[in-house]
Structure formats: structure tokens, C-alpha cells
């Protein structure tokens, strides 16, 4: 009887513990440390975009996980460098984190002559959060309706076609340069100061095409105001599976996804990084979060700590080669 009562008591205690969010049966040292203070998620861009959305998803998940407040600090300016500087100088204890797009980590170090950071030395990778493919779109009035038609026309009439981008050195500019290299075509690049003016000119027909983040142009694709030619990923996206890849249409090697990651200041203890990576994995695995990402045109991309760091290094080397061989400069 005594044994049975003890077993029942333990079962009841376990049930209560599992019902209480943030209460661990046997907390690790990293979990105990993370539960001591509030979290700050630094988003180096204005509210409303994918960085802000992801920062709020992670902040909400960490707040529930540890029973601590978690705030999003939007710190725009200097192409994201202001927010990066905040995190670089923060205490390396896992409570101040950086939500950042790929370009700031893998393109800017080569493109910016005076880039003020060493990504590998100043930051510690935690996890990839999500990705979205880029898509090649055209004005419906363009003289081509498919990628093969575009390539054929560009070869027949070099330097007569053009494509818009939100700026020199942006991932979308580099997607165009990769496309030109892979197809051996000459297409003029028209750089704008941001996506809205570039998109407006493609919608208006002043420029026939552009590479864009899928979430930005998906409403225009759905309404028929833009023609979706191809996604720049290794496979079709579940967000819009009807759009073929470039490789399917005879242009392999142009894989340019927009992805977003979570980093901490350099010097953050490895066990804290690993714990945060596990926490993020759990947050992104929630069905409601996955639906929220899908509504934004994003999908979860689970790549953590060392593997994430290796991906950053590989992408940096890949873009450095493109920037140098295509002679792309900020001037």
C-alpha cells in the first residue's frame, strides 16, 4: 500500500509539473541561467517586415518557455549595422539576441569596404529560423512569358532587356548576376533605393522584370499583375507549388533563398547556445507558428549552432566569388 501511495503521489506531481509552462523537472545549468532575466530580441530593421515577425515569434516563445518578459528592440539604420552593434556589445549570456537576414552576414562583409564586424569573431550562431525563396517575376506585357523565352530573347538582343533590384549588392541584385552568368546573357541592371520603387516600375512596365522575395510579390502574382517565371530554390515552394524552379527550365545553379537567423554575442557559453537552439526548434515546430510563417511566405529551416555557422561561412565564400567575378562595388 505504501509503495502504491508513493507511486500515485509521484504521478500526480509529474502531471502538475508538466501542466505548468516553464517549469522543468530537472533544469540544466543553461536553463536556470536563461530563466534569470528578461530577453531582448534585436531586429535591426523597422517593424512590419519578416525580421520583425520572426523576432516576435521567438520572443513570445522564449517568454512562455522561461516565464520571463521578452521584448523586441527594433533598431534600424546603417543597413542593419546599428542593431548588430547593439548585440555585439551586449553581455554574452543569451539574453540579448540578434534576428538578422542572410545578406548582413554573407554579402555585406565582402561588399562593404568598411564593414565594421567580423561575423565569425563578433557573433555566435544559434539557429536558422526560416527561409523564403526568391522568385523571378515579369510584367505581363513583357516580350517573354517563360524562362526559355527570356534567355532566347536576351541572347538574340544583348543589353536590350533589363531587370530591377532594390539596390546594388542586395541579394536580389546578385540573383540577377548569377542568372546572367549561368545563361551567358547580358541584361542591364537597374538599381533602386529599396524594393517598393523597383516593384512599382515592374508593375508599371518601365522595367520588364525583377527578382523579388516571394511574400512581397505573391499578392500581385495571385491578382495577375505579375507573371511568376521561376523560384530560385532547389525545389518548388509549398507556399506556391505551381511556380517551377529555374533548374526545371534549364537554368541550374541559381539558388538564392532569403533566410533569417538568430545569433548571440561572441563569448556566449556553448551550453546556452545549444539550449537556445533547442528552444527555437520547439517554438518553430508548433503548428500555429508554422501556419504563421506560411502566411508570410516563409518555411522553417532547422539548422543549428555549428551547422549554421558552417552555412554562413559557405555562403560568404560563395557570394564573395560572385561579387568579385562580376566586379560589383558599392560605388
Shared domain check, 109 and 159 = no
The predicted pLDDT at position 10 comes to 45
Shared domain check, 45 and 74 = yes
**In this structure, what CATH number is given to the domain that contains residue 128?**
3.40.190.150
The predicted pLDDT at position 26 comes to 66
Shared domain check, 144 and 107 = no
100 found inside a domain? yes
Whose CA is closest to 289, among 281, 68, 41? Answer: 281
15 found inside a domain? no
The predicted pLDDT at position 185 comes to 96
271 found inside a domain? yes
The predicted pLDDT at position 20 comes to 40
Shared domain check, 231 and 193 = yes
Domain boundary among 231, 257, 283: 257
The predicted pLDDT at position 18 comes to 41
Shared domain check, 164 and 103 = no
The predicted pLDDT at position 27 comes to 84
10 found inside a domain? no
Number of domains the chain is built from: 2
Shared domain check, 245 and 155 = yes
The predicted pLDDT at position 46 comes to 87
- In which residue are the cell numbers 560572385 written? 322
Shared domain check, 125 and 39 = yes
293 found inside a domain? yes
Shared domain check, 91 and 146 = no
What is the model's pTM?
Answer: 0.82
Query: Can you list the residues of the chain whose pLDDT is less than 50?
Result: 1-2, 5-25
Shared domain check, 288 and 221 = no
**Which residue range forms the structural domain that includes residue 286?**
29-132+258-325
Phi-psi region of 30 (alpha: psi -120 to 50; beta: other; left: phi over 0): alpha
Domain boundary among 257, 289, 306: 257
19 found inside a domain? no
Shared domain check, 318 and 177 = no
Domain boundary among 257, 274, 302: 257
Shared domain check, 113 and 149 = no
Radius of gyration of the CA atoms of the chain, in A: 23
**In this structure, what CATH number is given to the domain that contains residue 175?**
3.40.190.10
The predicted pLDDT at position 302 comes to 81
The predicted pLDDT at position 6 comes to 45
Shared domain check, 117 and 39 = yes
296 found inside a domain? yes
Cα dihedral: 159, 249, 50, 208 (round 10)? 30
Amino acid at each position: 500500500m505504501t509503495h502504491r501511495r508513493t507511486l500515485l503521489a509521484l504521478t500526480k506531481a509529474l502531471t502538475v509539473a508538466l501542466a505548468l509552462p516553464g517549469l522543468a523537472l530537472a533544469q540544466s545549468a543553461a536553463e536556470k541561467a536563461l530563466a534569470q532575466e528578461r530577453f531582448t530580441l534585436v531586429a535591426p530593421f523597422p517593424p512590419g517586415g519578416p525580421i520583425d515577425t520572426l523576432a516576435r515569434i521567438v520572443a513570445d516563445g522564449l517568454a512562455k518557455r522561461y516565464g520571463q518578459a521578452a521584448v523586441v528592440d527594433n533598431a534600424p539604420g546603417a543597413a542593419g549595422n546599428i542593431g548588430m552593434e547593439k548585440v555585439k556589445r551586449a553581455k554574452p549570456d543569451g539574453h540579448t539576441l540578434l534576428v538578422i537576414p542572410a545578406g548582413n552576414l554573407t554579402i555585406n562583409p565582402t561588399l562593404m569596404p568598411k564593414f565594421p564586424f567580423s561575423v565569425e569573431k563578433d557573433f555566435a550562431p544559434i539557429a536558422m529560423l526560416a527561409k523564403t525563396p526568391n522568385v523571378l517575376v515579369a510584367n505581363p506585357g513583357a516580350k517573354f512569358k517563360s524562362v526559355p523565352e527570356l534567355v532566347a530573347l536576351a541572347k538574340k538582343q544583348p543589353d536590350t532587356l533589363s531587370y530591377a533590384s532594390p539596390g546594388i549588392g542586395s541579394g536580389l541584385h546578385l540573383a540577377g548576376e548569377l542568372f546572367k552568368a549561368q545563361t551567358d546573357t547580358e541584361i542591364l541592371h537597374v538599381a533602386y533605393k529599396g524594393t517598393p520603387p523597383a516593384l512599382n516600375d515592374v508593375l508599371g512596365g518601365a522595367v520588364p522584370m525583377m527578382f523579388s522575395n516571394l511574400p512581397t510579390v505573391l499578392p500581385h502574382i495571385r491578382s495577375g499583375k505579375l507573371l511568376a517565371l521561376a523560384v530560385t530554390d532547389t525545389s518548388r515552394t509549398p507556399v506556391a507549388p505551381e511556380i517551377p524552379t529555374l533548374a526545371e527550365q534549364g537554368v541550374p545553379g541559381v539558388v538564392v533563398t532569403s533566410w533569417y537567423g538568430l545569433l548571440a554575442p561572441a563569448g556566449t557559453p556553448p551550453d546556452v547556445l545549444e539550449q537556445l537552439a533547442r528552444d527555437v526548434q520547439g517554438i518553430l515546430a508548433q503548428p500555429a507558428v508554422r501556419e504563421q510563417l506560411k502566411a508570410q511566405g516563409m518555411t522553417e529551416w532547422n539548422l543549428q549552432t555549428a551547422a549554421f555557422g558552417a552555412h554562413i561561412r559557405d555562403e560568404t565564400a560563395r557570394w564573395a566569388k560572385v561579387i568579385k567575378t562580376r566586379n560589383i562595388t558599392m560605388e
